[in-house]
Amino acid sequence: MRISIVGAGRVAHHLAQVLSTQHQIVQVLNRNLQKAKSLAALVNAEAIDSFEPLDSNIDLAIIAVSDQSISTVIGQVHYSLPDVLIVHTSGSTNLDVLTQQHSRAGVFYPLQTFSLDREVDWSNTPLFVEAVNKGDLNILTVLANSLSQHVYQYDSAQRLSLHLAAVFACNFSNYCYDMAKQVVDAKQVDFSLLYPLILETAQKATQHDPRLMQTGPAMRGDQNILNMHTSMLADAQQVELQQVYRLLSGQILKRHTAT
């Protein structure tokens, strides 16, 4: 397939690179030409910084920009590529946002957390595809199958719910690690001591219902420890950690004493 990419952020980088192993990346478009060039160089594509020079002789255009920009960008890509299949890669953006301006619209959503300096295990990354036309859905499914063993045809409502769950499972659990690091940093204790615990907790959640795997003072209803921890977080600098401690402990306590 001949594919162009709009965007040069984390998702654009990872997607362009893996696609370039089996397909031709024709153009990389980014307002910042330097960023477009650095990605284009990696995938042997042309770098452009505006919509007019978009080459319409392609099979697919992938919009991998911030969610907020999708509705603006689709109008401009549509103007240059009115007959091309155009997808976005967002978990939290309804397909409607594209179809309001473009008929051959679809979604190509990888459910993973991307960092520029980490490799992605694409074959185990769930990919969710959606399209207005059945033919386009087939094209996206074939493309997704070339990357991953886990391809699903989901509608926007299912995808949005999955993305919301991902915020809890990924963004919020990462913030829990961040808060844990703040606690030990304040006492010059080494955060790496918590690594085995972090990994085992995550492993457990993929093998059992996490509700049944809950441990800790709140789950046991140990009010003495809960009070002690709350007072340990009474420093002005840790007032936010204390708020989280109170809310989550209260909810865990309620969830596990109600059963």
Q: Per CB under 8 A, which of residues 180..239 are in contact with a copy of itself?
A: 180-181, 183-184, 186-187, 189, 191-206, 208-211, 213-220, 222, 224-225, 228-229, 232-233
Contact map string, positions 28 to 67, toward a copy of itself, x by CB under 8 A: --------------------------------------xx
- Give the x-and-dash track for 109-138 against a copy of itself (CB under 8 A): --xxxxx--x--x--xxx------------
Q: Does 258 bind a copy of itself (CB under 8 A)?
A: no
Q: b/e for 200-235, b at 16 or more Cβ within 10 A?
A: eeeeeeeeeeeeeeeeebbbeeeeeebeebeeebee
**Location of structure tokens 């957390």:** 113
> From the CB of 121, what's the least distance to a copy of itself, in Å?
7
Query: Cβ 149 to a copy of itself, closest distance in Å?
Result: 11
Q: What is the DSSP string of 74-100?
A: HHHHHHH-TTSEEEE--SSS-THHHHT
Between strands 151-153 and 127-131, the pairing is parallel
- The residue from 170, 227, 235, 257 that contacts a copy of itself (CB under 8 A) is 170
**Binders of a copy of itself: how many residues, by CB under 8 A?**
90
